[in-house]
Each structure stands twice: as structure tokens, then as C-alpha cells.
């Protein structure tokens, strides 16, 4: 397991639980899980939609520079 044994990880887990508490850790876990789920859904939706834009929907705004100031 690398430089740390299972006992080191259990002690770290115990310290984290004592500092934050189980309720706060559960809330953080559910928030992270919800964020990951919504990210996956957004990526799935993005793959399904084509990236072709209609020329009729897009507008080009043309203009002319009348004065130029340097600050």
C-alpha cells in the first residue's frame, strides 16, 4: 500500500470524522455526487446534439470604427 499501512489510513479517517462530523461529511458526499451526476448528464446531452449552426439563425454584426483613443 505504499508508504502508509491500513492503520495509518484508519487513523486519518478517524481524525477527519472527529473534525467534520458524519453529517457534514454525508452532505459533502451527496453534493459531490450530485455534481458528478449533473456533469455526466450534461456531457451525455452534449454528445447527442450536433454542433452545426444554421446561417439563418446566426447574425453577423458589422460596424465601422469612427474614432480610436489610446489610454
- pLDDT tens by residue, 7-38: 998 999 999 989 989 888 889 889 999 999 99
The verdict on residue 29 lying in a domain is yes
How many domains is the chain partitioned into structurally?
1
Closest by Cα among 13, 17, 35, 14 to 25:
17
The verdict on residue 38 lying in a domain is yes
Q: How far apart are alpha carbons 36 and 43 in whole angstroms? A: 10
- The pTM of this model reads 0.45
The verdict on residue 25 lying in a domain is yes
- Give residue 31's domain range: 21-48
Amino acid at each position: 500500500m505504499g508508504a502508509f499501512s491500513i492503520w495509518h489510513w484508519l487513523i486519518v479517517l478517524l481524525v477527519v470524522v472527529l473534525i467534520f462530523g458524519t453529517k457534514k461529511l454525508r452532505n459533502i458526499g451527496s453534493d459531490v455526487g450530485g455534481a458528478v451526476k449533473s456533469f455526466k448528464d450534461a456531457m451525455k446531452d452534449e454528445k447527442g446534439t450536433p454542433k452545426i449552426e444554421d446561417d439563418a439563425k446566426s447574425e453577423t454584426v458589422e460596424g465601422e470604427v469612427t474614432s480610436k483613443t489610446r489610454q
